[in-house]
Structure 1
Amino acid sequence: MSSNPDNGPAVSRREFDELFEAVRTWGRWPAPGRGAWNRVTADHVRAAASLVRTGTVVPIGRPWDTRPGPDNTRPALHHMSDLGDVEPPEPSAYKDFLGADYHGKSVTHLDALSHLAYRGLLYDGRDARGSVGAGGARFGSVQELGPLVTRGVLLDLPAVLGVDWLEPGRAVHAADVTAAERALGVTLGDGDAVLLRSGRFRRRRELGPWDCGAASAGWHVDAVPLLGERGVCLLGADGDSDVRPSPVEGVHSPVHTLAITAMGVPLLDNLDLEALSAACAGAGRYAFLLVATPLNVPGGTGSPVNPVAVM
């Protein structure tokens, strides 16, 4: 392996494939289309609900973004379809249309297990071309996941490091996870949803947008085995979880690949974690009830979503 001072050790394709095999959980779950979400039981939900103390609800989804920019190359659509100008009877109606090619760097969304294949295979070894077609996914759809409710944990790396944000290209390693646990007084556990804050949206508000596909802070692949050992069932980030540029030769989204395709862990991308960072700091705790309810889309490879953290 060679070294990059920003995004960490470079990883060869052979090393990545060995890592893929080491964290793979194919054949483990009774409902394979739900992947690691099989971990979450009613007991997990009750334990997460017990974390609600003040009743403070913190939205962590981004506004619907219709403005083109370097980090929004496929803007969401919003237009009015009825302006109340049709003849009575009363009342007059106002209606609007929403649409989005949401798998990108702007819309807050959930990636289901049908979203990514590696070497032609989806999670659990399902043939991708035989499982996803023009009509959508027949395996691993967002409909199979349903509402996601569990304990959320915010790993607030800028708060731990005493900086405003992580610079694009900065990788988060396994050692960063254990250091953050100590600093924030929280330990990742079975059935947790882990949200990684890099400070992306604070940086964006102060310095403006940039091409997040070319450079973003996020997980290095060397952190994934630790997350798997802890039994994490959902990963989220204010980026898309992957550090970019990718440290793995020939794999543009290696953490996506390990999480979704090897481990069956769905992802939440493009969360705005700034208000949650402030709420957690104010409360002195970094665990909370997380609720994410994707659209009930038969065959969907994911969904726009507006998750909330409840303190």
Structure 2
Amino acid sequence: MSPSSADAANTAPTGVGNGPAVSRREFDALFEAVRTWGRWSPADRGVWNRVTADHVRRAAACVRTGTVVPLALPWNTRPGPGNRKPALHHMTDLGDVEAPEPSTHKDFIAADYHGKGITHLDALCHIAYRGQLYDGRTAHEVVDAAGARFGAVSTLGSLVTRGVLLDLPAVLGIHWLEPGRAVHAKDIVVVEKALDVTIGDGDAVLLRSGHVRRREELGAWDPDTASAGFHVDALPLLAERGIALLGGDGDSDVRPSPVDGVHSPVHALAVAAMGMPLLDNLDLEALSAATATAGRYDFMLVVAPLNVPGGTGSPVNPVAVL
């Protein structure tokens, strides 16, 4: 069950900033420590190769009540501090053709989705570090104007696995984490203990910071400059647990970045070093309520990206089933 505020106060992680600072040399050493190049086949599915039929059956065993919780934000066509590249939606057919029957209504949608306004999946070709994609592929040799020839979203397929919600605000007895709050490895351990859940092999880990609720209550801000998310010191623990997917109601990175000269260090470690896709900009408020009601924080997660040959990712509407 979700812990009481008193229990949370006794186990509250310390520190509220984005630090400690990490030098470029320290970051590069961390990159090498979690790197899995050469481990998986096919390489451009990365750690999704971990997820076998046994993992799917384990995920299915998490379904007890049949509660279905969609995790995507609404299609966001309004510009704002957190949506610099609004999605497009307009009608192309208003059913005004007289014959033959039936009349139809059609619309058009489009999005430059790699931003803060659209729920999306990052494929392995999306992130390069020091000019290299996952598995050591040279980015400019395999990604061009026609798309990606390695690590494209079309090679990933769909993922069904056990999901784990790290609901840190629930543990702390607060509504949200303030932007700029780093989530550390020690925080993950505290949340696991408080919520009686353990991250395991092939799992999808979703971090709730309360970003969506804060925006609804206090208004939008620029999450490129300040957002709650993981500090890089959390990645070795997640790598050790063998997770297959990482996501959150932000984009997983704490901002400002604690790493000198690296704007999105968690992206670099997860995607380029570990070969792990990321889920960005989820709405985890309904899932937070559903897991608290159920008294458990694991569930079946279904992620089905669009089949876009050469695509660097895809808008998605992941679904949690309890």
Q: TM class, shorter-chain normalised?
A: over 0.9
Question: What amino acid is aligned across from residue 321 of structure 2 in structure 1?
Answer: V
Q: Alpha-carbon deviations, 1:224-248, whole Å to 9, x = none?
A: 0000000011001000000000000
Q: Secondary structure at the match of 1:9?
A: coil
Partner of 1:67: 78
The 5 A counterparts of 1:230-241 are 230-241=241-252
Q: Secondary structure at the match of 2:169?
A: helix
Question: What amino acid is aligned across from residue 96 of structure 2 in structure 1?
Answer: D
Q: Alpha-carbon deviations, 1:102-159, whole Å to 9, x = none?
A: 0000100000000010011000000100111111110001011111110000000100
* Partner of residue 36 from structure 1, selected from 35, 47, 59: 47
Contact in 1 for aligned 2:134/2:274 (Cα 8 Å): yes
Contact in 1 for aligned 2:16/2:182 (Cα 8 Å): no
Q: Alpha-carbon deviations, 1:69-108, whole Å to 9, x = none?
A: 0000000000001111234111111100000000000100
Once residues 51 and 165 of structure 1 are traced to their aligned partners in structure 2, the CA distance between those partners, rounded to angstroms, is 27
Partner of 1:215: 226
Structure 1: 5+ residue stretches without partners: none
Q: Alpha-carbon deviations, 1:273-305, whole Å to 9, x = none?
A: 000000000000000000011101000000000
The 5 A counterparts of 1:44-123 are 44-123=55-134
Q: With the length of structure 2 as denominator, give the TM-score of the two structures.
A: 0.95
Q: Alpha-carbon deviations, 1:24-44, whole Å to 9, x = none?
A: 000001110000101000000
Partner of 2:304: 293
Q: Alpha-carbon deviations, 1:166-215, whole Å to 9, x = none?
A: 00000000000000000010010000000000000010110010000000
Once residues 167 and 30 of structure 1 are traced to their aligned partners in structure 2, the CA distance between those partners, rounded to angstroms, is 40
Q: Secondary structure at the match of 1:206?
A: helix
Pairing 1:277–2:303 present: no
Once residues 105 and 304 of structure 1 are traced to their aligned partners in structure 2, the CA distance between those partners, rounded to angstroms, is 12
Once residues 134 and 86 of structure 1 are traced to their aligned partners in structure 2, the CA distance between those partners, rounded to angstroms, is 39
Partner of 1:169: 180
Once residues 16 and 87 of structure 1 are traced to their aligned partners in structure 2, the CA distance between those partners, rounded to angstroms, is 64
Q: With the length of structure 1 as denominator, give the TM-score of the two structures.
A: 0.98
CA positional deviation for 1:5: 5.4
Once residues 122 and 72 of structure 2 are traced to their aligned partners in structure 1, the CA distance between those partners, rounded to angstroms, is 14
Once residues 49 and 158 of structure 1 are traced to their aligned partners in structure 2, the CA distance between those partners, rounded to angstroms, is 27
Once residues 137 and 73 of structure 1 are traced to their aligned partners in structure 2, the CA distance between those partners, rounded to angstroms, is 25
Once residues 148 and 237 of structure 1 are traced to their aligned partners in structure 2, the CA distance between those partners, rounded to angstroms, is 16
Q: Secondary structure at the match of 2:236?
A: helix
Q: Secondary structure at the match of 1:196?
A: strand
CA positional deviation for 1:264: 0.4
**What do you get for the CA RMSD once the two structures are aligned?**
0.8
Once residues 252 and 311 of structure 2 are traced to their aligned partners in structure 1, the CA distance between those partners, rounded to angstroms, is 21
Structure 2: 5+ residue stretches without partners: 1-14
Number of residue-to-residue matches in the alignment: 308
Question: What amino acid is aligned across from residue 194 of structure 1 in structure 2?
Answer: V
Partner of 1:243: 254
Q: Secondary structure at the match of 2:113?
A: coil
Pairing 1:193–2:190 present: no
Runs of 4+ displaced beyond 2 Å? none
Once residues 229 and 55 of structure 1 are traced to their aligned partners in structure 2, the CA distance between those partners, rounded to angstroms, is 31
